[in-house]
């Protein structure tokens, strides 16, 4: 352990100052490249109709930042419905497959992103 202790003891002020300085640069740089998003909103979906072929949904986005870009996936990366919605409420139908679908919704105002994920079955 002596090697480590010696190393930490010698020039510890330089060490701490360097670590703090470069860590701070990494913090600033990372925030600049990948700003954290600000908030989430709720999606409320109601199934309004269902038969052997399809399910009809009405979803309400609890946000006043519009438009909202919505994407519906079944499995990761496989979008089956992709639409920009210009008001808080949207009606849509999906094929009846006994799947759990995921809706991703994103809205932005300049660099202010709001997002939400909703899960529903058909």
Partner 1 sequence: MGISKLFVIYLIIAVVLRLFLWAEIRYIFGTDVGRFAEISHIFYLKGQITPDLRPYNMAYGFFYFLLPILIPTALEYASIDPVITMTALVFIFSILSCIVFYFIMKQFFDERKSAHMFFFYSIAFDIILIFGIAGIYSYALSVLWFFLSIYFINKIFFDGSKSWLNLGLVLALFSVTHIYLLIPLLCYCFALITYEIVKENSIKRTLFSIKQVLKSLIFPILINIPIIFIFGNYIGLQNDPINKGLMLAVSGYRESMNIYDRLYNIFFSSYTLMSSIIFMAGLLFFIVSIYKFRGRQFVWVFYSIYLFVHNIMAFNDTNLTRVISVVWMTYAIGFGNLLIIPFLNVGLIPLLYFVPSTTVPYYINVLEQKNVINENIYPWVLWDDFYKSIDYIKQNTAKDSIFLLDSGGAGCFGSSSSYGDRIFPLTSRKPFYFTDYCWAVWDYADYEKRVDIYRGISINPNNFTILQELKTYNVTHVFIGPYDVGLNYGLFDNSSYYEEVYNDRGFAIFEIK
Question: What residues make contact with partner 1 under the rule CB under 8 A?
Answer: 1, 3-4, 7, 10-11, 14-15, 18-19, 22-23, 25-27, 29-31, 33-34, 36-37, 40, 53-54, 69, 71, 73-84, 93-97, 99, 104-108, 111, 113, 115-117
- The least distance separating partner 1 from the CB of residue 89, rounded to whole angstroms, comes to 18
Between 45 and 71, name the residue whose CB sits nearer to partner 1.
71
Between 66 and 95, name the residue whose CB sits nearer to partner 1.
95
Q: List, in order, residues 6 or more apart from 97 with CB less than 8 Å away.
A: 74, 122
Residues 42 and 62: their CA atoms lie apart, in Å, by 5
DSSP type of residue 70: E
- The least distance separating partner 1 from the CB of residue 88, rounded to whole angstroms, comes to 17
Residues 112 and 75: their CA atoms lie apart, in Å, by 28
| Of residues 122, 120, 121, the one with CA closest to residue 60 | 120
């Amino acid at each position: 352990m002596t090697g480590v202790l010696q190393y930490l003891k010698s020039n510890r002020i330089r060490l701490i100052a360097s670590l703090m300085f470069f860590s701070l640069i990494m913090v600033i740089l990372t925030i600049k490249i990948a700003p954290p998003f600000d908030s989430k909103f709720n999606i409320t979906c109601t199934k309004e109709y269902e038969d052997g072929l399809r399910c009809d949904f009405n979803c309400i986005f609890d946000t006043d930042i519009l438009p909202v870009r919505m994407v519906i996936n079944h499995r990761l990366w496989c979008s089956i419905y992709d639409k920009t919605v210009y008001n808080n409420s949207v009606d849509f139908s999906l094929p009846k497959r006994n799947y759990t679908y995921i809706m991703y919704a994103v809205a932005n105002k300049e660099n202010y992103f709001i997002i939400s994920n909703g899960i529903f079955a058909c």
